Amino acid sequence: MTYGYARCSTTETKQDIERQKRELKAMGAEEIYFEYESATKIHRAELEKLLKHIQPGDTLMTTEISRITRSTKQLCEIVEFAIQNNIKLVIGGFIADCTGGIDPMTEGMIKMMGVFAEMERNMIAERVKSGLANARAKGVRIGRPQVTVKSLPRRFSEYYEMYKSGQINKTELAKICGVSKPTIYKYIAVYTDR
């Protein structure tokens, strides 16, 4: 059996995992496990489920090394798992056939791919930290904008008196404004503190 594994760091509203699924199907994946989790997270439900389900002689595919992990240590564990369980690993166009062991050159190459994936993640994290520090140094406020009476939605102001008089409750007010209930609590606090 040929299994595919696809992963994105953030939710489906922010990242599209469909490209990875299409590529895995084109590569020959018969069943695809996918999830929205950080590659640095060691315990990922779908990856763990896949590794428990896969059998000796099966193939595990992923579009690139960073999809399965950005941790060299975890990659080494996955390679060791593949060797012990006679599993073929396909990472994009790179094939590591571990069904009869693995030659040192292939093992070295796959681990080097892992080192570069981890290094890329670390470089991205450093650039983000540097960018945030630079923005703070310029006086830019980082994070969500502060909620003020002026920034409250017009609909909140229109319906607040109905809420205050008991005609509608907080849940109904939240629906009218198109926000969550905790946000309505914040809006009410801002509005009453004005």
Q: Is residue 106 part of a domain?
A: yes
Q: Does 84 lie in the same domain as 164? A: no
Give 149-162 pLDDT, tens digit per residue: 888 888 888 888 88
Q: Does 77 lie in the same domain as 13? A: yes
- Please report which confidence band the pLDDT of residue 59 belongs to, taking 50, 70 and 90 as the band edges: very high
Asked if 25 and 4 count as a contact pair (C-beta separation under 8 A), the reply is yes
pLDDT at 153: 87
Q: Does 162 lie in the same domain as 104? A: no
Q: Does 60 lie in the same domain as 117? A: yes
Q: Is residue 164 part of a domain?
A: yes
Per DSSP, the three-state class of 69 is coil
Give 61-87 pLDDT, tens digit per residue: 999 988 988 888 988 999 999 999 999
Residue 164, CA distances (Å) to 38, 150, 192 in order: 43, 19, 11
- The domain in which residue 39 lies consists of 2-129
Q: Does 98 lie in the same domain as 179? A: no
Could you identify the residue written with the tokens 């999830």?
35
Please state, as a whole number, how many other Cβ atoms lie within 10 Å of the Cβ of residue 53.
Answer: 12
Could you identify the residue written with the tokens 């629906």?
175
Q: Does 159 lie in the same domain as 67? A: no
Find the CATH number of the domain harbouring 108. Answer: 3.40.50.1390
Query: How many structural domains comprise the chain?
Result: 2
Asked if 191 and 149 count as a contact pair (C-beta separation under 8 A), the reply is yes
Per DSSP, the three-state class of 95 is strand
